[in-house]
Amino acid sequence: MDDRYQNTIETWKHLSSIYHEKFKDIRLYDDSYEAFASKLQPTSSLLEIGCGPGTATRWLKNRLPEASILATDVASEMIEEAQKHVSDVHFQVLDAREIHTLNQQFDAIFSGFCIPYLTKNDLNQFIESASKLLNAKGIIYLSCIEKAYDQSYTQTGSTGHKMSVFYYLEQDILQLFKQHGLQHLETIRIDYPLPTGESDTHLVLLASKK
């Protein structure tokens, strides 16, 4: 395994409870979640990739209580944390680079801030695999930090843990959507404040399978 991925995965293992506390009450993304959920039927089948401590999982289950949700994450510790806060959801430890091993189809795929931890080559494979997992007219939600890929870097957090963060521009992802049979539906940009007083632009893209 690429050392960058190994460092990131080890970091997720250590930060599960910290991330739950940090993001459990965040409301910045609610409008983007609603934009996604409003396009689904109440009983849709939903795959979440990179569920982390279950913050978005809980939002989606509350919004779509009759939906069938499979929530996945590469870190078992994240899954264990999510299970404490969300019920009536199926959880599975799964690397985002291995979603092609799933043997079922879904009406929708939700992946909030998973692709910032995928290299460009792996993102291409990820979107190809996601498209194949979607039923016709299925909906996908992806989010990332909007910057040029060549600004990607290895981040060291306050705990000393390292993770590689990969940036993408809207055009990068739209090109992959087109290449893999997905039609762009909507772009949402969210201003995310940083501790420095500056901010990042968080990019949310919605698409449907043609």
Q: What is the pLDDT of residues 58-68, one digit of tens each?
A: 999 999 999 99
Domains and CATH numbers, the chain: 3-209 (3.40.50.150)
Q: How much is the pLDDT for 183?
A: 98
pLDDT confidence tier of residue 154, bands split at 50, 70 and 90 = confident
Tell me the mean pLDDT in the region 8-12: 65
Of the chain, the percentage scoring pLDDT greater than 90 comes to 78
Residue pLDDT, tens place only, 133-146: 999 999 999 999 99
How many angstroms from the chain centroid is the CA of residue 158? 23
Q: Is 9 a residue whose pLDDT tops 90?
A: no
Amino acid at 7: N
Residue pLDDT, tens place only, 24-50: 567 899 999 999 999 999 999 999 999
Tell me the mean pLDDT in the region 70-89: 94
Query: Are β-strands 68-73 and 90-93 bridged in parallel, bridged antiparallel, or unpaired?
Result: parallel
Lookup: tokens for 126: 């990820």
Tell me the C-alpha distance between 170 and 144, whole Å: 9
Q: Is 159 a residue whose pLDDT tops 70?
A: no
Which one is predicted more confidently, 157 or 108? 108
Q: How much is the pLDDT for 163?
A: 79
Tell me the C-alpha distance between 198 and 163, whole Å: 21
Q: Is 16 a residue whose pLDDT tops 60?
A: no
Consecutive H or E run containing 63: helix 55-63
Query: How distant, in Å, are the alpha carbons of 44, 65, 66, 116, 193 from that of 41?
Result: 5, 11, 9, 28, 33
Lookup: tokens for 72: 């996945």
Contact 79, 92 (CB under 8 A): yes
Q: How much is the pLDDT for 158?
A: 58
